[in-house]
Structure 1
């Protein structure tokens, strides 16, 4: 009997064992994700929820991009072999590999969303037409969906940052189910933050990353077939 077969016999090969392996990976990834976002989470919890702190909230969100990318990478690396229980190795490999590419996209997105948020927060004082607020909201929605899809692409594929940006823009309308799924997850995340706190959102990070991967499957499948063959 080979070592792999012996290990599978020891751990089991049934549905319960497979579910346990997935849960174990999600728990480990969640702990590492919390460690990754902690430098921004702690100051964010101390900030007052006031429009004057929007720029500071954006700064606090900087560590979220690389940590979430590493979580996506680690969860996507889960294989049918239930004895492959090394999610921490996958997480840190994804973090190191994707750090530069993620920041090239994440930082401009955060900066743009912060500018839009400030304009909306002080909209009445600006004295601009109402249609301008609608336009800003549409821009924020498009940027959020684009950022979510770009994060998935740069986490799973080795493309240049400008190519990731183009692919994310291309798939906004190419795979509407993915775009709607990303938007729905963004709304859920915003709701959790608004009605509870950033800490609760961070505790649900690995589950949200799993859902983001699932909802992005039409897009990632198309990329694999058309751009990686």
Structure 2
């Protein structure tokens, strides 16, 4: 019996099994991400790309935050051993544990970005000088990258919301590679959407979340080392 167990353990630790398990995990998480977000995101496919639709876009994006958080949690806690794969269980555990905490950050972020982008789009009608475009864009970038840090922190650690926000801002400066990497990921996502459609981006969701997690590794390591016991 122990020989069989040892054989399975060796099989589960091999390089081919690690690749196979990673593909399996990503496929399962892709299905779960689609399950938890597509009902809300489908209207985005028929919405015109007009600034007047930005409030609706923000509304439809609300379920995306908890889903991404759950996928981050599952990827961080899932082993690659083929004998011990539970991505779906980890996804739902992360979803239940973090959904409300994530929404406390995700919803205000969407509101801020909606206000900023609407003001940018209609700055002429609002009587704003074109000089306001630069500071508004900079604020939107900082809000987005700070929220990206905060989403990872909330998904993987148990801190109060105000402490999450402080850490998120702190690590914008402390680990500059993280916000730069997240900015590149967002640029790539925008490029995919512009060239094809939102549907193509949805089909790459689990891969995008994995890249997001890898980019955030330096911040995660420092938080674990310096702010947890």
Do the two structures share a fold, i.e. TM-score over 0.5? yes
CA RMSD, Structure 1 to Structure 2 (Å): 1.5
For residues 105 and 4 of structure 1, the distance between their equivalents in structure 2, rounded to whole angstroms, comes to 45
Local SS of the residue matching 2:125: helix
For residues 62 and 27 of structure 2, the distance between their equivalents in structure 1, rounded to whole angstroms, comes to 23
Query: Per the alignment, do residues 12 and 168 of structure 1 end up closer, same or farther by CA in structure 2, a change over 3 Å counting?
Result: closer
Q: Please, which runs of 5 or more residues in structure 2 have no aligned partner? A: none
Kindly state the Cα deviation for residue 4 of structure 1 after the two structures are TM-superposed.
4.7
In the alignment, structure 1 residue 7 sits paired with structure 2 residue 33: no
For residues 224 and 12 of structure 1, the distance between their equivalents in structure 2, rounded to whole angstroms, comes to 28
Instruction: Tell me the TM-score normalized by structure 2.
Output: 0.95
Q: After the TM superposition, which of the residue ranges 109-118 and 77-86 deviates more from structure 2?
A: 77-86
Q: Tell me, yes or no, if the aligned pair for 2:36 and 2:63 is still in contact at 8 Å.
A: yes
Determine the structure 1 residue equivalent to 2:201.
201
Kindly state the Cα deviation for residue 80 of structure 1 after the two structures are TM-superposed.
4.5
Local SS of the residue matching 2:128: coil
Q: Tell me, yes or no, if the aligned pair for 1:144 and 1:186 is still in contact at 8 Å.
A: no
Once the two structures are superposed, residues 20-78 of structure 1 have per-residue CA deviations (whole angstroms, 9 ceiling, x without a partner) of 11110011001100111112111211211111110000000001000010111111112
Determine the structure 2 residue equivalent to 1:227.
227
For residues 141 and 19 of structure 1, the distance between their equivalents in structure 2, rounded to whole angstroms, comes to 35
Determine the structure 2 residue equivalent to 1:45.
45
Q: After the TM superposition, which residues 144-159 of structure 1 pair with which residues of structure 2 at under 5 Å, given as runs?
A: 144-159=144-159
Determine the structure 1 residue equivalent to 2:68.
68
Kindly state the Cα deviation for residue 191 of structure 1 after the two structures are TM-superposed.
1.8
Local SS of the residue matching 1:126: coil
Q: After the TM superposition, which residues 54-133 of structure 1 pair with which residues of structure 2 at under 5 Å, given as runs?
A: 54-133=54-133
The alignment of Structure 1 onto Structure 2 pairs a total of residues equal to 228
For residues 49 and 80 of structure 1, the distance between their equivalents in structure 2, rounded to whole angstroms, comes to 40
Stretches of 4+ aligned residues off by more than 4 angstroms: none
Kindly state the Cα deviation for residue 193 of structure 1 after the two structures are TM-superposed.
1.9
In the alignment, structure 1 residue 211 sits paired with structure 2 residue 211: yes
Q: Tell me, yes or no, if the aligned pair for 2:78 and 2:90 is still in contact at 8 Å.
A: no
For residues 22 and 180 of structure 1, the distance between their equivalents in structure 2, rounded to whole angstroms, comes to 26
Q: After the TM superposition, which of the residue ranges 202-211 and 102-111 deviates more from structure 2?
A: 202-211
Q: Tell me, yes or no, if the aligned pair for 1:29 and 1:87 is still in contact at 8 Å.
A: yes
For residues 187 and 29 of structure 1, the distance between their equivalents in structure 2, rounded to whole angstroms, comes to 23
Q: After the TM superposition, which of the residue ranges 42-51 and 74-83 deviates more from structure 2?
A: 74-83
Determine the structure 2 residue equivalent to 1:188.
188
Kindly state the Cα deviation for residue 122 of structure 1 after the two structures are TM-superposed.
1.1
Determine the structure 2 residue equivalent to 1:174.
174
Kindly state the Cα deviation for residue 205 of structure 1 after the two structures are TM-superposed.
0.8
Q: After the TM superposition, which of the residue ranges 100-109 and 186-195 deviates more from structure 2?
A: 186-195
